[in-house]
Amino acid sequence: MESLNRFSLIAPCGMNCGVCMTYLREKNKCPGCRDDKNVLGYCRKCIIKNCEKLKENNWKFCSNKCEKFPCTRLKNLDKRYRTKYNMSMIENLNNIEQLGIRAFVKNEKMRWSCSECGGTICVHKGYCYSCGEKKQQN
Ligand SMILES: [Zn+2]
């Protein structure tokens, strides 16, 4: 899936907007957090996306260089996603830091590609948006 190759879909919090149901759905799609003007829903007001530290330091992602890392907002988000969706923003951020964004995006592509049709598995729904195949637990 071409969209998963796009670095611009990895949000500052470590979320892959490319596997979000709001990005994948047909109607009223969200373009992802990096699109300031058109980002939808609660992400619009997210304090991570709008964090001054990121802007001041010109960091593309939350970083352990930040003295607040991981901040309360990030920890809460991370906990919710680990519990409900079996995905961790903090783990993603650590991988981005260690592997670099290029390798991270490549791994993400493998992680979320449907084995049946090559479509994208939605992190929220847990199945492929193109054919309905369920994600294999790994
Ligand atoms: Zn599929």
Per-residue pLDDT for 2 more than 60? no
When pLDDT is cut at 50, 70 and 90, the band that residue 11 belongs to is very high
From 30-34, 41-45, 84-88, 94-98, the region with the lowest mean pLDDT? 41-45
pLDDT of residue 6: 58
* Mean per-residue pLDDT, 69-98: 97
Q: How far is the CA of 27 from the centre of ligand 1 (A)?
A: 19
Question: 3-state secondary structure string, the chain?
Answer: CHHHHCHHHECCCCCEHHHCHHHHCCCCCCCCCCCCCCCCHHHHHCCCCCCHHHHHHCCCCCCCCCCCCCCHHHHHHHHHHHHHHCCCHHHHHHHHHHHCHHHHHHHHHHHHECCCCCCEECCCCCEECCCCCECCCC
Q: How far is the CA of 1 from the centre of ligand 1 (A)?
A: 11
> Taking all residues of the chain, what is their mean pLDDT, rounded to a whole number?
91
Q: How far is the CA of 53 from the centre of ligand 1 (A)?
A: 39
Per-residue pLDDT for 19 more than 80? yes
Distance CA 126, CA 54 (A): 31
Q: How far is the CA of 116 from the centre of ligand 1 (A)?
A: 5
pLDDT, tens only, 55-80: 999 999 999 999 999 999 999 999 99
Q: In whole angstroms, how far apart are CA 43 and each of 37, 39, 117?
A: 12, 7, 29
pLDDT of residue 23: 95
pLDDT of residue 101: 92
pLDDT of residue 42: 83
Rounded to 10 degrees, what is the CA torsion of 93, 98, 99, 102? Answer: 50
* Mean per-residue pLDDT, 91-103: 95
Give me the residue label for tokens 């960091």. Answer: 59
Neighbour tally for 42: CB within 10 Å: 8
CA atoms within 13 A on the CB side of 137: 2
